[in-house]
Amino acid sequence: MKPTRLLLGAASTLFVSQLMAGEAVFYVTEEGSAVQDLAVSVNGQKKLVGNAGFVVFDLPAGLHQVELSQYGEWWGEFPLELAAAKPNAEIMVEMIGGEAVSEVNQFGNDETAIGQISGYLSSQETGGNVSDAIISVEGSDVSVTTDNDGFFTLELPRGEYSLNVAHPNYGNRQVSDVRVMGGINTGLNLNLSMAGNGGIEEVVAVGSFMPTTTTSQERDSSAVLDAIGSEQLSRFGDSSAASALKRVAGVSVVGGQFAVVRGMQGRYISSTLNGSMMPSTDPMRRDVPLDLFPASVLGGIDIQKSFTPELPGDSTGGAIRMTTKGLPEESLTKISLSSGLNSRTTFSDVNGYEGGSADWMGIDDGTREHPSFADSLTKGGIDNPRFCESDPNCASAEDSVRLGNSFENIYNVDQIQAKPDKGFSVSTGDYFEADFGGHGYYAAFEYKDAWEARHDGQLDDASSKGTYERTKRKIDVAGYFVYGLDYGSSEYLSKTTLLRKTDDTIRTTSVEDEGKDQHLQSAILQWVERQYIGQQFSGTHYLTGLGEEDQLNWRLGVAQTSRYEPDRRAYTYGRTLGSDNPLRLLGGVERRFSDLTEDALDLGVDYSADMMLSDTLFLKLKTGVSYISKDREVELARYSNLNINDPAIDLSLTPEQIFSKNNIDSGSVKFRGSTAGTDNYSATDEMTAAYVSAELDLNTVSLVAGMRYEDFEQELKYPDNDSSASSLSESSVLPMLAATWRINEDMQLRASASQTVSRPGITERSESAQYDPDTDDLIQGNPNLEISDITNIDVRGEYYFSEDESLTLALFYKDVSDPIERSVIEGDGSAANGYTFANVNSAEIQGIEVDFRINVIDGSDFTGFWATNLSYIDSEVDLSGTDAERLEGDSSRELQGQSEYLANVQFGIDHFATGQSLTLLANYFDDRIYATSRGELAAEIEDGRATFDIVYRYDINESLVVKAKAQNITDSKVSYSRDDREIESYYEGSKYSASVEYIF
């Protein structure tokens, strides 16, 4: 060690004004390191030791009793006597063999003493030392430079200071609340990061600066960014990415799964996991269902709302960048058990039916499997063989019977009791230091079993009025493993992720349809398994090239998503209105088997270089190339029964009685295939991209310019209908320009302009008939869709009170040419209620976002914060002169899924001494279009509503944590309206959950 020292000759006069009369400063250490989470009590007044090991009391002269404890466990005690002539005291407490050994030094108000701060600066990226960094004392000309080994030493009068750390490659940072005690050497080790403006990632022993806060991420980003850290996910009790995103300014979530960012739905949003593009698990949508990603595997979520060249070109509304958890810093094993109930659902009677023996695992055991005989005989429902005995071109009557009996005779809906929610998770990890650097791992597994239902469901639309109930049992399974290797100046990561979400849904409806003059009762039984499995390898290398420490990043990701929906059953009973006759089966049943699989390959290389052109001029260059490929296969088979004309069969019986083995064996009930020629399809989606950007830092102003090139090709093929094949290709150059003006250390103004695109997804161009999982309405793609071009303008002003307090005001404007909108199908029958996709003339979106977070309580025992964000979004879609105008009956409207107003309010309070926290959460979204107008029928609106949650956490000790959450505590009604008249409503109930977490 060769520290550079600076002795202050005028020590008796420097910073004397900082010393407070009657101030007693305690510094508690054990084995040379500061002790955290320790409570110090003086005369019964308790305070928690801060992260740096210090705690301060204002004490009068006299005898005082000091006690130390941690999580209620007694650690030691000693008397403290303060003389009136020397009211200021510094108490050094060393824990030795379980006993508190104290050393007390007292000083008069004008008396000073010299102390020392020494430490070491290291790089988070390289793991090595940081030399030639300037550490200066704020408010003075005192400074010191770290030596070749990264060490430094400062000798200062006792007191409290703020230090500034500056380095060409790591920017400028401040470490506040640094204590110097007379005659004592205080260790200060800093871990610096080159991300942003050189955030200090770790402060060892001294200081309370926390640069990993989401506020710091947002401030240091070169784009408009909102960040959600793992701490926030835990604090707010969010179970998935979907539930977390709705708390971000300008973001809402539709259907509990899909994000709407600044009024723009999935086709305008890109989603990545660890930098790799995500394939979709939903055949009805191109965006990713975000409820698939549990908080247990997420390390954080960044929502970047302004485009930069390294992002995919369809990041118009925003880019949702999810990262999974990384390596732990030390050995860690955690087990958690959870349970919950719903005020309306749990222990009540809900819909159910006979399932399989492995339903509790979210895996069908074969009960719902597509019968192999039916598949081979009808070629997946495409062929409809004639059944007869004499014609050689006929299938035999025995085959007809065998076809009917190949389907499980399970149709009846029963009432069963909903059980309490339950779940568990386990995680473990460790990191091992080595001569070459180090390596580590982290593994996690989670299982959840939950019930939900729509209660008191009411329908009253057009000529149809009645009730319905929907019950859903949800089984979630997540597995995750990461292995990392730090070797010299390189880092390697392997991340394996398995996510499964199974929904077992039963919907029953009873309506009186005056238009059809019938009382109708229908049922739908639906089992859906969604799965994501991905493997990613990535590396980071720190090189000497254009700059002193260039960075090369590469990634290779392979992933597969699937949506398996075996044996969806639907049937309807009916009778004439006003009739006393029993309800009779109408037509018959449909049994549907579908399987979607999408494979994705993501390759990418990025290179960045930081260069100091002069003392005040900094240049950052970035470039990269990527290749993304998606291959989708959709297999869909439909079967239905022929009309039952045998008068001996009573159609008022249950489906299981009607479709009994006896009726099939007698030939009275027959099944046939009903698969359409475009139901099965394959598709490929490929994109090759390259980008370059340059960021020039002119001290108080940063300028960013760049562009992205993308070559895109998409092809759809139908194995049962070659004439319907279609393709779409385009090359795009997408420029951007941004600037940030740092008005002072706390305020900055940023602005950007960019060009992006919106390409139709495979789903939107596929002619395969799909059905909405909630309404069973037909959804059919349009192969003639065109690519949309978008111009984006963003402005945001930011004011940072501290490292976790801020106020931001954002304005945005977007102009979309040829936007793709979900529109009405022209047709009758079942198509009359269906939807398709079409390009319309244009759309404009503009809005304002206000977001602030402040600390409202800052005491020695309690801290509290208040955070609020408000958004106003206005949009107009021009339909004039298009088929959409003719079919919808309007020349313009808002974007679908866009709310005019969005709001979030959060209030949290922490009690340090007992390790308890309480957080109150409120979320509001305004009215939004759920389905467009249809001729004379106005648009269907999902009515705005507010929900309120409470989250509680109690850290009993360092090993045991108890959590509890109450969601939707007001049980707000979910409703939909048309022309201000309620057409559908239901209640979901309030949810209450608790968990116990044990950390080894």
Q: What is the pLDDT of residues 496-531, one digit of tens each?
A: 999 999 999 999 999 999 988 999 999 999 999 999
Q: Is the pLDDT of residue 23 over 90?
A: no
> What pLDDT is recorded for position 29?
80
pLDDT of 216 > 70? The answer is no
So what's the pLDDT on residue 427?
94
Residue 65: predicted pLDDT: 87
For range 48-53, the mean pLDDT = 71
As a whole number of angstroms, the distance between CA 681 and CA 677 comes to 9
At residue 773, φ and ψ (nearest 5 deg) are -65, -20
pLDDT for 52 = 66
Provide the pLDDT for residue 2. 31
pLDDT tens digit sequence for 475-502: 999 999 999 999 888 999 999 999 999 9
Would you say 991 and 455 are in contact if contact means Cβ atoms under 8 Å apart?
Answer: no
Instruction: With a cut of 60, say whether residue 198 has pLDDT above it.
Output: no
Burial letters 446-473, b for 16+ CB under 10 A, else e: bbbbbbbbbbebebebeebebebbbbbb
Give the model's pLDDT for residue 552.
Answer: 93
The predicted pLDDT at position 974 comes to 96
CATH class of 114-192: mainly beta
- In this predicted structure, what is the pLDDT of residue 8? 30
Mean of pLDDT values over 896-924: 91
Residue 61, pLDDT score? 85
Per DSSP, the residues of 727-753 read: EEEEEEEEEEEEEEEE-SSSEEEEEEE
- Position 13 scores a pLDDT of 30
Residue 594: the pLDDT is 92
pLDDT category at 62 given cuts 50, 70, 90 is confident
Q: At a CB cut-off of 8 Å and minimum separation 6, what does 676 contact?
A: 638, 768, 769
Tokens at 160, concatenated? 């409290």
Based on the number of CB atoms within 10 Å of its own CB, is 582 exposed (0-12), middle (13-18) or buried (19 or more)? exposed
927 pLDDT above the threshold of 80: yes
Residue 197: pLDDT band with limits 50, 70, 90: very low
DSSP state of 245: H
3-state secondary structure of 702: strand
Q: Give pLDDT, residue 326.
A: 86
Lowest mean pLDDT among 74-88, 224-238, 668-682: 224-238
The CATH superfamily label for domain 23-107 reads Carboxypeptidase-like, regulatory domain (2.60.40.1120)
Higher pLDDT, 50 or 67: 67
- Band of pLDDT at residue 282, cut at 50, 70 and 90: low
pLDDT tens for residues 643-653? 898 999 999 99
- 798-826, pLDDT tens digit by residue? 998 877 788 999 999 999 999 988 888 87
CA dist., res. 261 & res. 276, Å (int)? 20
Task: Kindly report which listed range (316-325, 655-664, 836-845) carries the lowest average pLDDT score.
Answer: 316-325
In the predicted structure, residue 37 carries a pLDDT above the cut 90: no
Winning range, highest mean pLDDT, from 143-147, 534-538, 741-745: 534-538
Residue 10 binned pLDDT confidence (cut-offs 50, 70, 90) = very low
pLDDT at 211: 35
Q: Give the lowest-confidence range in 193-197, 564-568, 845-849.
A: 193-197
Which CATH fold topology does 407-642+676-999 show?
Answer: Maltoporin; Chain A (2.40.170)
Sheet holding 73-82, edge to edge: 45-48, 39-42, 62-70, 73-82
pLDDT tier for residue 393 given thresholds of 50, 70 and 90: low
126 pLDDT higher than 80: no
What proportion of the chain, given as a percentage, has pLDDT over 70? 90
Q: What is the pLDDT of residue 611?
A: 83
Q: Record the pTM.
A: 0.76
Structure tokens at 975: 């409703």
Average pLDDT, the chain: 85
pLDDT for residue 400 is more than 80:
yes
Domain boundaries, the chain: 23-107, 114-192, 407-642+676-999
Tell me what pLDDT residue 859 has: 80
User: Is pLDDT of 347 > 60?
Assistant: yes
At residue 760, the 3 state secondary structure works out as coil
Rounded Cα–Cα distance for residues 608 and 549 (Å)? 9
- Section 590-612 average pLDDT: 92
pLDDT (average), residues 716-739: 88
pLDDT tops 60 at residue 210: no
Report the pLDDT averaged over residues 586-610. Answer: 92
What integer is the mean pLDDT of 287-296? 77
pLDDT(979) > 60 = yes
Give which of 653, 537, 543, 657 is closest to 603, Cα–Cα: 537
Contact 924, 869 (CB under 8 A): no
Whether the predicted pLDDT of 641 surpasses 70 = yes
Confidence band, pLDDT 50/70/90 cuts, at residue 717: confident
Q: What is the pLDDT of residue 15?
A: 33
Place 213 in a pLDDT band, splitting at 50, 70 and 90: low
**Amino acid at residue number 144:** V
> Strands 298-304, 318-324: parallel, antiparallel or unpaired by DSSP?
antiparallel
Q: Are 17 and 165 in contact (CB under 8 A)?
A: no
- CATH fold match for the domains 23-107 and 114-192: yes
Strands (E) across 514-660 are located at: 518-543, 550-576, 584-612, 618-641
Q: What is the pLDDT of residues 146-167, one digit of tens each?
A: 887 788 888 888 888 888 888 7
Q: Are 669 and 616 in contact (CB under 8 A)?
A: no
Average pLDDT, integer, range 125-153: 80
pLDDT given for residue 484 in this prediction: 94
